[in-house]
Amino acid sequence: MFKHQGSKRNLRHNLKIASLLSFVAGLVNVAGFLAVQKLTTNVTGHFAFFVDEVFKLNFKQGFIYFLYIFF
C-alpha cells in the first residue's frame, strides 16, 4: 500500500492508509490518556474526552464533546 505512488495509487490505497493512520492515532491517544490521566494530543483528543465522559455517565459534558467532533 505504501509502495504505490503517483498515478499507481488509487482510492482504495488511500482509504487503507487513512484507516491505518487513524487507528494508530487512536491507540496513541488512548494509551497516553490511560498512562498519565492527561490528554497527550491536541488533534483527536475530543473523541478521547467524549468516551471518557460517557463512561463516567456524564452525558451532558459528553454531548458537548460530541458537538466538537460533529462540527
pLDDT (tens digit per residue) in 24-38: 888 887 888 788 887
Residue type for position 44: T
Q: Are 61 and 53 in contact (CB under 8 A)?
A: yes
Ramachandran sector of residue 6 (left: φ over 0; alpha: ψ -120 to 50; beta: rest): left
Separation of alpha carbons 40 and 5, rounded Å: 32
| pTM of the model as a whole | 0.50
Along the 71 residues of the chain, how does pLDDT read in single tens digits? 556 666 778 888 888 888 998 888 888 878 887 888 877 665 667 777 888 899 999 999 999 988 888 88
Question: According to DSSP H, which parts of the chain are helical?
Answer: 11-36, 45-55, 59-70
